[in-house]
Structure 1
């Protein structure tokens, strides 16, 4: 049985390996998604000790939340499952605008509750910051919902350090979600130290850098034009990244695990990271991610990885 850890100072206790579900019903993000496969991977996760599911309104849109609602209801153990969802995207006709207004956030929570077929959301994030709403006012609306028992913890995602400070003026922010991985460590400049100081749990997204940090790529891999546009895959940078990943491959080989397991395990050595939420498209990937929990890195290995990816 996996030991559950506490997310920051919340009352949420989870398996440190969660499940990012943008490929569960996220038809607008991935072409030709198989909903049955999505359902299967969530059920596999729940059956094997994963109890933290991360979704959002915009995955689908709406469809990811609906599928998770159905699966959790089917599993019949809602109280043991921690569901995180996010909102900020508002459709005005065919145009998507970002809205953090208290009225919109309250409406979003009500609609998410219906799609998820539940009467509370464990962790609710403002998915992206808008230009106009004072962030402490937006968080104030979520605090009201928390007091009413509709949400249990308050999160923000993709906020700048200034926006995070404004949002946390009254100390109500529990969780921050942002991009962080070995190839993009910018969060270490200000966001991670602030999170640590204020006991905010930092949940990294893109922990495996769009698959590059899984170790499945090599210099002969055919990259699509779209991939080449991503910074970590751009010419010159990609080749340097492959060299760095070879060092991790050596550590992984000695431990009898895969590159991804070592990478994910390294994140847990960061003070404010309690949980990671790697995504998956197939059930076997979910099971594979769980092998991370078996990895123990030595102090030398932690320092070596830090140095290689400095």
Structure 2
């Protein structure tokens, strides 16, 4: 069974592409028409919750103690306008390795006892950290995580071996974000070299993305991706979406999902229409597997840990 689709709600943020009430209503209407009924949201600097919304806690080192977690979560839910209701999933957006994990989990458990969320999720945790969370939560009879959200695409496939075995052993679902690798798989080598938008080396975000993807192995993979797209007449983004929905390690029977992004309603409709075309030809899948072999040695597990674990982005 294919994974379900979840809409990435970053476009509704103040700095997002959807600016008006009318545009918001139009987007929500299209999502409903296309059968997408979950929205993933996060408040910058606050703990993350899915309409059914989900929300996540932001990463602020040293701000993950029990009382701080509760206070930040309450503020996040208030901003979402759902402080009197449960969100579907409440995530820890990323591990705070400067904090006492038990104290953090105590705060999460208190929120669950107060009825603030249905399911507890982890995001951007390494496999051994997932095990630590489950061990402590089990020992102290806290709410257990049942879903994990991580970066996963045709050129970022490390979760297949490094995370999924652990998640499956604990019955956790996997929600894949960045299925087009942060927009990389929608671009060409020339687009990256032009240094525009999220690839602008003058911005911190641009520098970070370039550090992840502007290397010869990744660019060679991108060249091959463009060749596959042209050869088979499938747009680069739709190639990525059809691969992750029909040919990745995700499994709808396990409750897995894909977080899809769009800045316009026509993009939402286009993505869903492309997915209705079904699985890719086996020859295309084989070519995509070869792209992974090209980029495997330079691929990161996820952008958050690339940032947290490396000094190269400072």
Contact 2:243 2:285 in 1 (8 A): yes
Offset at 1:203?
Answer: 1.7
Instruction: Look up the match of 1:209.
Output: 181
Instruction: Look up the match of 1:283.
Output: 265
Instruction: Look up the match of 2:105.
Output: 139
Give the distance between the partners of 1:220 and 1:298, measured in 2 at CA: 28
From 138, 162, 166, the counterpart of 1:194: 166
Query: How many residues end up aligned between the 2 structures?
Result: 269
Offset at 1:153?
Answer: 0.6
Offset at 1:143?
Answer: 3.5
Offset at 1:283?
Answer: 1.8
Give the distance between the partners of 1:233 and 1:44, measured in 2 at CA: 32
Instruction: Look up the match of 2:305.
Output: none
Instruction: Look up the match of 2:304.
Output: none
Q: Deviations over 1:3-32 (max 9, x none)?
A: 996xxxxxxxxxx121112122242xx6x8
Instruction: Look up the match of 1:166.
Output: 132
**Is the deviation greater in 297-306 or in 47-56?**
297-306
Offset at 1:155?
Answer: 0.8
Offset at 1:303?
Answer: 4.0
**Does the C-alpha gap of structure 1 residues 105 and 306 become closer, same or farther in structure 2, counting only changes over 3 Å?**
same
- Counting only pairs closer than 5 Å after superposition, residues 86-165 of structure 1 correspond to structure 2 as 86-89=56-59, 97=61, 99-118=63-82, 119-165=85-131
**Does the C-alpha gap of structure 1 residues 223 and 143 become closer, same or farther in structure 2, counting only changes over 3 Å?**
same
From 231, 239, 261, the counterpart of 2:238: 261
Offset at 1:305?
Answer: 2.0
TM-score, normalising length: structure 2: 0.72
Contact 1:88 1:99 in 2 (8 A): no
Residue segments in structure 1 that go unaligned for 5+ positions in a row = 6-15, 69-80, 90-95
Instruction: Look up the match of 2:291.
Output: 308
**Does the C-alpha gap of structure 1 residues 261 and 24 become closer, same or farther in structure 2, counting only changes over 3 Å?**
same
Give the distance between the partners of 1:220 and 1:102, measured in 2 at CA: 45
Matched, 1:57 2:43: yes
Contact 1:252 1:259 in 2 (8 A): no
Instruction: Look up the match of 2:308.
Output: none
Offset at 1:142?
Answer: 2.5
Instruction: Look up the match of 1:25.
Output: 13
Bigger helix share: 2
Give the distance between the partners of 1:263 and 1:249, measured in 2 at CA: 10
TM-score, normalising length: structure 1: 0.73
**Does the C-alpha gap of structure 1 residues 293 and 98 become closer, same or farther in structure 2, counting only changes over 3 Å?**
farther
Contact 1:45 1:51 in 2 (8 A): yes
Contact 1:204 1:277 in 2 (8 A): yes
Give the distance between the partners of 1:251 and 1:197, measured in 2 at CA: 39
Give the distance between the partners of 1:153 and 1:46, measured in 2 at CA: 22
Instruction: Look up the match of 2:155.
Output: 183
